């Protein structure tokens, strides 16, 4: 076989004769994304970026359409806010643009700590693509250290707002702009470091895409990206059509509280699937916007991409691109609702609402398929501890705590995961970097929803304060609206927050709180909830239940009461005769969903 030329000029002839070029281009884009990820991991200063991996990396074409990204459906039209202010012909090679303005970007970024940086990719004097990354900065001002607070009642309580600006012009950093932003942070050195890391990442991405164009030529790369989008779109639409037959579907999930004494709040979805396969989604019956910061300024792309990612989840050969997003022809929003709040409603703690929206999309798929999709997952939990250590230095510990994900039609739910691919703070990292000690950390027993396939379990984490005092805020989700089970599976069990467990001054806190002062020796215990189960619990193999008991995931009492499995007292072996008798006499009928009781529909 003759060697492939390094630069090609005929897109049709080359891609038709050598379809492997398409895969080479896709591989190069994935490689560039991986390089950006490694750079950001190794150079950022904020633990939320470096350790927790709370960031997003993506590439977009000259029109702003998605070329490839991480599998995180928390994005809108991310290039448009910059293009609305800076025309491509006014951009320069070496420029980097920056924003975090949620309302100004129409939800392209969904809370102010997420800083978006964009580098245009110039090829032959024209903008051909954009390299983008956003990352969660530890503190950008606001009511509390860490910026986010359940006490916020306005976007202006949630830190410094940056409209689309030119951060770097022809390779020259705007130092004055950075100084102004950093001066509004309680940890300015961290802001300086994270902006440098984020800028380096998007600059590296732009370099790699420019090299790709230089190697294969504009026509070949553009045509390859077009074909990649066609591939993704065709497969995604085909799978969506298999999942959602023509008809109308309705599903309601709920967020318990806004942290200001109000709730619950409905996330109400109505989906209309026409005979020709076109899909319309109506969210207008969702609750009015909240006083507290749980509002989610939702871009229509979010539910579209959520459905697309689920439909194409098992095909690793596809790029996640605009073809993943274009699954619906229209998404209706109602201004003033919790999914389309009016300025200046607070947005900082929108995570619970976003996760509930994702679960409602899965609820519609379960409704349409009779329970052939995963059960609901729990919304991630988080706590903040801030103060001054014994050396007089300010500290801020922002720790997201893992939860359980929903069981699947063929497997248990994922245990102890924070959010998508984001990671856990190691015990050593916390104890070396902060005036805190991890007293205990493990699996939250019985938190996963019982089912033929068990819901993923949450965790517990106990943190002892070693500073003179610390200001604490904490959030869990789902005590009153737990993650639902499906196809006979039961809902996930809720978590709780306790101060000084087992002591005379033990206190049980609400699911969303702020302003609590802890003193040296106080212990904060977070117990997170699990995901919903799938299938009748009595259909789970007794040996699997025994394994769960031995592993500390399920208690002896739950094995008997929820799964109908009798284990011997001495060695916890399955008593098969007693198990069969118990299951025969106590099996209860089920319905499609379980949210504390079995129901035919969630409404």
Confirm whether 223 is domain-assigned: yes
Give kind and range of the element (H or E) at residue 182: helix 175-182
Domain count, the chain: 1
Q: What is the pLDDT of residues 283-312, one digit of tens each?
A: 999 999 999 999 999 999 999 999 999 999
The arrangement of strands across the sheet holding 247-255 comes to 247-255, 265-273, 279-282, 330-332
Residues 470-480, mean pLDDT to the nearest whole number: 91
Residues 305 and 323: their CA atoms lie apart, in Å, by: 9
Confirm whether 382 is domain-assigned: no
Residues 192 and 181: their CA atoms lie apart, in Å, by: 9
Confirm whether 115 is domain-assigned: yes
Give me the domain span that covers residue 168. 11-234
Given this model, what pLDDT does residue 75 score?
A: 72
Given this model, what pLDDT does residue 421 score?
A: 67
Cis peptide before 372 (omega within 30 of 0): no
* Residue 530 scores a pLDDT above 70: yes
* Residue 5 scores a pLDDT above 50: no
> The pTM is what?
0.94
Confirm whether 153 is domain-assigned: yes
* Residue 532 scores a pLDDT above 80: yes
* Residue 499 scores a pLDDT above 50: yes
Distances (CA, A) of 70 to 37, 322, 459: 10, 12, 26
Q: What is the pLDDT of residues 81-136, one digit of tens each?
A: 999 999 999 999 999 999 999 999 999 999 999 999 999 999 999 999 999 999 99
Q: What is the pLDDT of residues 450-459, one digit of tens each?
A: 999 999 999 9
Confirm whether 111 is domain-assigned: yes
Given this model, what pLDDT does residue 424 score?
A: 84
Reported as a pLDDT band with limits 50, 70 and 90, residue 313 is confident
Reported as a pLDDT band with limits 50, 70 and 90, residue 2 is very low
3-class secondary structure, 537: helix
Reported as a pLDDT band with limits 50, 70 and 90, residue 8 is very low
* Residue 56 scores a pLDDT above 70: yes
Q: Which residue, 427, 544, 474, is CA-closest to 149?
A: 474
Confirm whether 574 is domain-assigned: no
User: With pLDDT > 90 as the criterion, what percentage of the chain qualifies?
Assistant: 90
Confirm whether 42 is domain-assigned: yes
Mean pLDDT of the chain: 94
Confirm whether 542 is domain-assigned: no
* Residue 220 scores a pLDDT above 80: yes
Given this model, what pLDDT does residue 17 score?
A: 58
Residues 164-185, mean pLDDT to the nearest whole number: 98
Reported as a pLDDT band with limits 50, 70 and 90, residue 73 is low
Reported as a pLDDT band with limits 50, 70 and 90, residue 15 is low
Residues 322 and 62: their CA atoms lie apart, in Å, by: 13
């Amino acid at each position: 076989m003759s060697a492939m030329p390094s630069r090609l000029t005929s897109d049709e002839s080359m891609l038709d004769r050598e379809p492997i070029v398409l895969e080479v281009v896709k591989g190069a884009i994935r490689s560039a994304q991986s390089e950006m990820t490694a750079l950001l991991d190794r150079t950022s200063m904020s633990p939320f970026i470096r350790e927790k991996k709370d960031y997003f990396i993506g590439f977009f074409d000259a029109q702003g359409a998605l070329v490839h990204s991480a599998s995180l459906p928390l994005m809108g039209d991310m290039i448009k806010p910059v293009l609305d202010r800076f025309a491509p012909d006014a951009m320069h090679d070496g420029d980097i643009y920056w924003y975090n303005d949620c309302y100004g970007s129409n939800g392209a970024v969904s809370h102010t700590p997420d800083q978006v940086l964009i580098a245009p990719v110039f090829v032959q004097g024209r903008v051909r693509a954009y390299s983008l990354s956003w990352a969660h900065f530890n503190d950008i001002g606001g009511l509390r250290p860490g910026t986010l607070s359940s006490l916020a009642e306005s976007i202006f309580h949630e830190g410094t707002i940056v409209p689309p600006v030119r951060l770097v012009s022809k390779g020259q950093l705007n130092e004055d702009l950075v100084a102004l932003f950093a001066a509004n942070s309680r940890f300015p050195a961290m802001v300086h470091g994270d902006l440098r890391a984020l800028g380096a990442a998007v600059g590296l991405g732009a370099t790699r895409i420019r090299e790709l164009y230089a190697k294969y030529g504009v026509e070949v790369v553009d045509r390859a990206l077009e074909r990649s989008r066609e591939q993704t779109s065709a497969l995604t639409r085909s799978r969506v059509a298999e999942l959602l037959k023509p008809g109308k579907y309705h599903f309601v999930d709920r967020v318990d509280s806004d942290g200001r004494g109000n709730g619950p709040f409905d996330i109400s979805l109505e989906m209309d699937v026409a005979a020709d396969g076109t899909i319309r989604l109506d969210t207008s019956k969702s609750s009015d916007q909240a006083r507290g910061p749980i509002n989610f300024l939702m871009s229509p792309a979010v539910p579209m991409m959520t459905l697309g990612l689920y439909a194409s989840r098992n095909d690793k050969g596809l790029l996640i691109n605009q073809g993943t997003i274009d699954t619906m022809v229209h998404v209706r929003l109602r201004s003033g609702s919790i999914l389309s709040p009016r300025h200046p409603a607070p947005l900082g703690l929108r995570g619970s609402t976003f996760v509930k929206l994702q679960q409602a999309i899965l609820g519609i798929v379960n409704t349409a398929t009779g329970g052939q999709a995963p059960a609901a997952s729990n919304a991630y939990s988080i706590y903040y501890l801030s103060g001054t250590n014994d050396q007089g230095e300010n500290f801020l510990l922002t720790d997201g705590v893992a939860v359980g994900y929903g069981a699947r039609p063929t497997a248990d739910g994922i245990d102890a995961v924070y959010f998508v691919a984001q990671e856990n703070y190691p015990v050593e990292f916390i104890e070396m970097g902060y005036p805190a000690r991890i007293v205990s950390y493990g699996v939250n027993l019985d938190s996963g929803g019982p089912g033929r396939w068990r819901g993923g379990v949450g965790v517990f984490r106990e943190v002892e304060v070693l500073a003179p005092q610390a200001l604490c805020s904490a959030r869990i989700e789902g005590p009153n609206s737990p993650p639902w089970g499906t196809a006979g599976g039961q809902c996930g069990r809720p978590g709780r927050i306790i101060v000084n467990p087992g002591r005379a001054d033990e206190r049980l806190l609400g699911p969303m709180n702020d302003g609590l002062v802890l003193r040296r020796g106080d212990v904060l215990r977070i117990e997170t909830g699990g995901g919903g189960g799938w299938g009748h619990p009595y259909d789970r193999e007794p040996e699997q239940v025994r394994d769960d008991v031995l592993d500390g995931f399920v208690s002896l009492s739950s094995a008997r009461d929820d799964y109908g499995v009798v284990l011997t007292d001495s060695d916890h072996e399955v008593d098969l005769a007693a198990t069969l008798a118990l299951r025969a006499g106590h099996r209860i009928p089920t319905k499609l969903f379980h949210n504390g009781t079995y129901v035919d529909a969630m409404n």
